[in-house]
Amino acid sequence: MSARAVGLGRGDAEPALYQRIGRIVRELHESLRELGRERLLEEAAQAIPDAGERLAWVARMTEQAAGRVLAAVEIAAPLQEALHAEAAALQARWEREAPGVRPELAADTRRFLATAAAHGAATRDQLREIMMAQDFQDLTGQVIARILGLVRRLETELVQLLLEAMPPGQRRPAPQRFLDGPVVHAHGRSDVLASQKQVDELLESLGF
């Protein structure tokens, strides 16, 4: 972080402030040396971008899930609407024309049509509720985007600071964990499988 970014801007306070920051950085530097800095630096350099990517992945997955729900609702709603409309129309005709044949069957049919029309309307309302609930994606997405911005700023500043404190020869990529959770970025990685098809193909090639 540049001294300007500290943003105190009061002439008298600045020299003392710089001295304190300088001391903190030197102490950090010393602590890193004592604690085995290469491990710490690797972890810091790895952990923050990793956290950011995971968060971005959460945003993408929720957006896709919301999209799937909306697509399903958009297909189901007109079908439901048609059922509802037809049942209601037919019920009205049965009430009006009331055929004299087989009164019990006629009564059962009228009752069923009334139920079908009412349930159709209720289901339509629930479909709308399912659709409205997808607004979580917009709201959580906005919060995640904001946190991502913060994480990326932190990453730039902190990793830069840490790398400056480390001799170039000691920089090595951090080891991958075995259980790494959901794959956030399959693109450009040869060690992960991007689809169930690839998983099946791999197992098949091994004789399973």
Partner 1 sequence: MANSKLRFLVVDDFSTMRRIVRNLLKELGYANVDEAEDGAAAFAMLEREPYDFVISDWNMPNLDGLGLLRRIRESERLKHLPVLMVTAEAKKENILAAAQAGASGYIVKPFTAATLGEKVGKILDKMPQGAR
Q: Can you give the binding site for partner 1, defined by CB under 8 A?
A: 63, 66-67, 70, 73-74, 77, 128, 131-132, 134-139, 141-142
3-class SS of residue 55:
helix
CB of 144 to partner 1, least distance (A): 11
Please report where in the chains the tokens 């007109």 appear, as a residue: 78
- The residue (of 76 and 161) whose beta carbon lies closer to partner 1 is 76
- Contact yes or no for 98/106 (Cβ under 8 A): yes
Q: Which is nearer to partner 1, 106 or 131 (CB)?
A: 131
Q: How far is the CB of 14 from partner 1 (least distance, A)?
A: 33
**Alpha carbons 134 and 138: distance in angstroms, whole number:** 8
If the CB atoms of residues 22 and 78 are measured against partner 1, the closer one turns out to be 78
* Residues 37, 148 contacting (CB under 8 angstroms): no
Sign, Cα dihedral of 10, 15, 18, 24 = negative
Query: Which residue, 29 or 124, has its beta carbon nearer to partner 1?
Result: 124
Least distance from partner 1 to the Cβ atom of residue 139, Å: 6
CB of 102 to partner 1, least distance (A): 39
Q: Are 53 and 184 in contact (CB under 8 A)?
A: yes
CB of 61 to partner 1, least distance (A): 13
Residue 161 to residues 34, 39, 120: CA-CA distances in angstroms? 17, 15, 62
Residue 7 is given by DSSP the state: -
Closest contact distance (angstroms) between CB of 69 and partner 1 is 9
Query: Toward partner 1, which CB reaches closer, 55 or 158?
Result: 55
Closest CA to 81 of 132, 124, 113: 124
How many whole angstroms separate alpha carbon 49 and alpha carbon 152?
7
CB closer to partner 1, 145 vs 203: 145
Token reading at 47: 């952990």
